[in-house]
Amino acid sequence: MHLQDILFSQGFGTRRVCAGLIQQGLVEVGGCLVQDALADFEPHGLIFKVQGVAWPYQERAYLMLHKPAGYECSQKPGMYPSIYTLLPGPLRTRGGGAAAGVQSVGRLDQDTTGLLLLSDDGKFIHRMSSPRHHVPKRYEVITKHPLDATQVERLLAGVVLDDSPVPVRAAAAEFVSDRHLQLTLTEGKYHQVKRMVAAVGNRVEALHRSRIGPLVLGGDVPPGSWRWLSAAEVAALSSAQPVVEARVCPSGLTAD
């Protein structure tokens, strides 16, 4: 594959722009400067540098991002900056065309923090976001008032939201403290966690998504940063199974 085509596929601009980067001596492959835009390389497994920054060739992009508060999951945000400004330019433009760049898999509210997946693989995005596949997502919910077993029972049994007569239910709920609940959902309606908690007579004060399927947001990705997903992580996400209902009541309470 021609080097200019490799750079083009990874989002470094038009083929003409990519050829210019190469001819100006701004691209290295294997530690060597390459100035022939038509030089051929096997792209798979290739790591190249553009202006001193190393890039691995990725046929498709699969990323995890730790979303901080105060960002919108939109290409055209309103009041707050876009999460896409947290990504380097090539990730926002790779592929070209009207649907260029990676897209977020679902959205988090501007005040919600935590794990976001992004990709330019349409099938993967659909698999992760479609309610038909029931990919579990775990949230750390901090409530205004102490939770009780009755409220959690209602979340597990199902509550009716104002936009649908069909009850929505949590797949799992586990107490961390009297105001901290780990809540697992397998669908993603608008403001779902906040509305479900409000429906049982409480209020969400802070919300953080800590897990999607088998993928857990760890300390290796601090707020505002991102990393590539490994092939094993992508495979595990693509085969994620729904969780079995689980519940743990706080000390001194019972589920009865």
* Residue indicated by tokens 């992760």: 128
Specify whether the CB–CB gap between 236 and 214 falls below 8 A: yes
Burial class (CB within 10 angstroms; exposed 0-12, middle 13-18, buried 19+) of 214: middle
> Looking at residue 129, what is its pLDDT?
86
> Looking at residue 165, what is its pLDDT?
85
* Cα separation, 52 vs 55, whole angstroms: 10
Domains of the chain as residue ranges with CATH? 3-56 (3.10.290.10), 62-248 (3.30.2350.10)
* Cα separation, 76 vs 177, whole angstroms: 38
pLDDT tens digits along 38-74: 999 999 999 999 999 999 999 999 999 999 999 999 9
Question: Would the pTM count as exceeding 0.85?
Answer: yes
- Whether 109 is a known active-site residue: answer yes
> Looking at residue 183, what is its pLDDT?
96
Closest CA to 64 of 2, 116, 22, 138: 116
Catalytic residue, chosen from 36, 40, 109, 178, is: 109
Q: What is the DSSP string of 81-125?
A: -BGGGGS-HHHHHTT-STT-S-EESS---TT-EEEEEEES-HHHH
